[in-house]
């Protein structure tokens, strides 16, 4: 396991211990890691992550494409560098302000539609903002609250 997770954020593994099998995890850019995503997929967890700029991918199959909207299966990485062990899904859409791109290991667009990915990730920011507000309003500097925030970010 050490080789598989050599380059990922190790602390996230401790948070997985109490999570149910097949739950859906939302990751920010700080947790983007091919080995981590491969590990989670192997163990039956689903995940969504933001697209880091300059991430290489190759399109394998296009479910739908219209203008900037894209729903496709891709290989992450390049032939000359790091590469994920499994194909993932790339969704891309505009929100009126900018182009949004996410990866997920839920390959079936019926099981997890593009619109649901957009809504789920938007909710992630609402949860984080709520925790920060509660911390400030209660004048807390409590590690348990930040630990809870970290867990709920993943849920």
**pLDDT (average), residues 81-100:** 87
Tokens of 24: 């859906």
Helix (H, G, I), strand (E, B) or coil at 140: coil
Instruction: Find out whether 89 and 73 touch, Cβ atoms under 8 Å.
Output: yes
**pLDDT (average), residues 131-147:** 54
Q: Is the pTM of this model over 0.75?
A: no
Helix (H, G, I), strand (E, B) or coil at 58: strand
Give 93's contacts (C-beta < 8 A, 6+ positions apart): 68, 69, 70, 99, 100, 114, 118
């Amino acid at each position: 396991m050490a080789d598989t997770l050599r380059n990922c954020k190790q602390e996230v593994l401790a948070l997985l211990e109490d999570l149910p099998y097949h739950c859906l995890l939302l990751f920010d850019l700080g947790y983007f890691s091919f080995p981590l995503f491969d590990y989670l997929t192997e163990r039956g967890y689903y995940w969504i992550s933001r697209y880091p700029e300059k991430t290489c991918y190759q399109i394998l199959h296009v479910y739908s494409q219209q203008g900037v909207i894209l729903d496709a299966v891709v290989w992450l990485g390049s032939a000359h560098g790091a590469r994920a062990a499994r194909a993932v899904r790339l969704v891309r859409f505009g929100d009126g302000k900018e182009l949004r791109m996410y990866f997920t290991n839920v390959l079936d667009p019926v099981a997890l539609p593009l619109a649901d990915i957009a809504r789920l990730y938007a909710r992630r920011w609402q949860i984080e903002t709520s925790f920060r507000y509660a911390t400030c309003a209660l004048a807390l500097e409590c590690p348990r609250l930040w630990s809870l925030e970290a867990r709920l970010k993943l849920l």
